Amino acid sequence: MHYHIIGIAGAGMSAIAHLLLDQGHSVSGSDLGHNRLTEGLAARGARIAQGHDAAHVVGAEAVLATAAARPDHPELVAALKLGIPILKRDDLWRVWSQQRPVVAVAGSHGKTTTSAMVALALRGGGLNPGFLIGAEVPDLGGNATWGDPAAPLVIEADEYDRAFLSLTPALAVITNVEWDHPDIYPSAEAYTAAFTSFAQQVGGPRRLVLGSDGPHLSDLGDLEPVLYGIEERLATDPVSCRLAPFDWTASGVTGIPGGGVSFDLWRFDRQRMGQRRMGVLELAVAGAHNVRNALAALAVAALLGVDMQGAVAALSSFRGSARRFELKGEAGGVVVVDDYGHHPSEVQATLAAARMRYPARRIVAYLQPHTFSRTEALLDAWPEACRDADLVLVGDVYAAREEGDVAALAQRLTERISAAGIEARYSGNLEASSAALIRLVQAGDLVLTLGAGDGDRVGMHVLAHRAEP
């Protein structure tokens, strides 16, 4: 079957394209530009067009459209005229979750890294899982593969446009629930309700792995979730949390030389009703949030009965995903790290990890706010999120699918952060922000670029300038 994909250069759509190619389908696609993802698809035989044109859909048997494509998109209009079926990603997710067991990883934050860790743990434990992840994962060799059809398919289950409600997972993870995507969910209550609905679609008791942070879901019925989280009291008193034990727990979370983190791993023995210390686990990635992600992956691996020693070894060597605390380089004494975090809680966790990983460096953060609706709805949460930064530069809003004044809202956000006693400056567009950072940084600094848009280019400009003789 011939699928044409609108927006094929994006992380999610390119991943779906790989799965379709793995299944023997032919794939074409279009996007405004080419990148590393489209180059990889072209090398596999996909036909990639730059720009959008009605002629691109001719010959396709189905058109798959990114959620960002507007109804008047020329290729969508052409597909309607030609009678070609138009699909969204969740249409394929629905089919795949009926074809094979799906492990769906949902949550407001941490979906990408947790999905990668789950797939890696299952692979280390002896399976050949499929996976569909919204970022390239070096340890997995890419962002998607069909794998063994008899093994689970790990899907990063995005809640945007309610896509994750198309899945009927055999097993699911919910990392946390914190209001996001106000353009889809008008209130925190509506957002949480969608996650509750998602949880109710899981295949049975003890098949839902639930993070301890964030508001608790209601109406879970007899699902009996497997809980995980960090509880430092276990380090000194293993019975201190007897009334509300997590099934998988970390304590003694400590940064280690080289940038990773170590922790004591505990597992609750339901027969003896007590915590059992499983030993010390070290991760190569920094931050308490990655400890939680690893706990979720271990819980999944145990529920699926894989070799746990192999799963632990695989997680210990995990190097992270693209644009998730990704080291971009060092030049002239300045280290540049890029992170996809664009929600205040994600930024707060990333800055905490940066402080743990680089305790002696001044942290200069460049923040590119993502969408007007999110920035406006969460405006009051940003000051606390930026506490670990020594200096915050706020660039123009990355509008994505929305419209508005990119500078005015960014300036309001800057003022809100400054009012909390944090040094913050409005820096303008990418070119102006790059120039501002180049003027401000000095040897010994850490530059951290934050956002889901194209703000990573700012950090690359800084590296290029510092590398000049």
Q: Is 111 annotated as a binding residue?
A: yes
CATH of the domain at 461: 3.90.190.20
User: Does an H or E element contain 118, and which?
Assistant: helix 111-124
Q: How far is CA 211 from the centre of its chain?
A: 15
Taking the model in full, what pTM does it have?
0.82
Buried b (16+ CB within 10 A) or exposed e, 221-251: eebebbbbbbbeebbeebeebeeebbbbbbb
Q: What sign does the dihedral 407-405-453-162 (CA atoms) show?
A: positive
DSSP letter assigned to residue 131: E
CATH of the domain at 63: 3.40.50.720
Q: Is 108 annotated as a binding residue?
A: yes
Structural domain ending residue among the three candidates 54, 87, 120 = 87
Q: Is 14 annotated as a binding residue?
A: no
| Statement to judge: residues 395 and 261 lie in one domain | no
CATH of the domain at 278: 3.40.1190.10
Q: If we measure between CA atoms, which residue out of 290, 287, 315, 288 comes closest to residue 301? A: 315
Report pLDDT digits (tens) over 34-75: 888 888 899 999 999 998 899 999 999 999 998 778 888 999
| Active-site residue list | 111-112, 156
| Statement to judge: residues 135 and 217 lie in one domain | yes
Structural domain ending residue among the three candidates 317, 352, 371 = 317
Q: Is 107 annotated as a binding residue?
A: yes
| Statement to judge: residues 129 and 277 lie in one domain | yes
- The residues with which 189 forms a beta bridge, in sequence order, are none
Residue ranges making up the domain that contains 262:
92-317
Q: If we measure between CA atoms, which residue out of 372, 406, 400, 345 comes closest to residue 182? A: 372
Give the strand pairing for 130-137 and 153-156.
parallel
CA distance 450 to 45: 34
State both tokens at 422. Answer: 């944090």
Cβ–Cβ contacts within 10 Å for residue 405, how many?
13
| Statement to judge: residues 417 and 312 lie in one domain | no
| Statement to judge: residues 64 and 171 lie in one domain | no
| Statement to judge: residues 394 and 442 lie in one domain | yes
Structural domain ending residue among the three candidates 87, 114, 146 = 87
| Statement to judge: residues 82 and 177 lie in one domain | no
Per-residue pLDDT of the chain (469 residues; tens, 9 = 90+): 999 999 898 888 899 999 999 999 999 999 888 888 888 899 999 999 998 899 999 999 999 998 778 888 999 999 999 999 999 999 999 999 999 999 999 998 889 999 999 999 999 999 999 999 988 888 999 899 999 999 999 999 999 889 999 999 999 999 999 888 888 999 989 999 999 999 999 977 889 999 986 556 766 767 788 999 998 877 666 665 554 578 999 999 998 877 789 999 999 877 676 788 889 999 998 888 899 999 999 999 999 999 999 999 999 999 877 777 788 889 999 999 998 888 888 899 889 888 888 888 999 999 999 998 989 988 999 999 999 999 999 999 998 878 889 999 999 999 999 999 999 999 999 999 999 999 999 999 999 999 988 889 999 999 998 887 7
| Statement to judge: residues 251 and 268 lie in one domain | yes
Q: Is 109 annotated as a binding residue?
A: yes
| Statement to judge: residues 401 and 445 lie in one domain | yes
Give the total number of structural domains in the chain: 3
Q: How far is CA 87 from the centre of its chain?
A: 23
Q: If we measure between CA atoms, which residue out of 207, 212, 243 comes closest to residue 225? A: 207
How many residues are present in the chain? 469
| Statement to judge: residues 154 and 191 lie in one domain | yes
| Burial (0-12, 13-18, 19+ Cβ within 10 Å), 189 | exposed
Give the strand pairing for 334-339 and 445-450.
parallel
| Statement to judge: residues 177 and 277 lie in one domain | yes
Q: Is 113 annotated as a binding residue?
A: yes
> Which pLDDT belongs to residue 19?
96
Helices 288-303 and 111-124: crossing angle, nearest 10°? Answer: 40
| Statement to judge: residues 76 and 125 lie in one domain | no
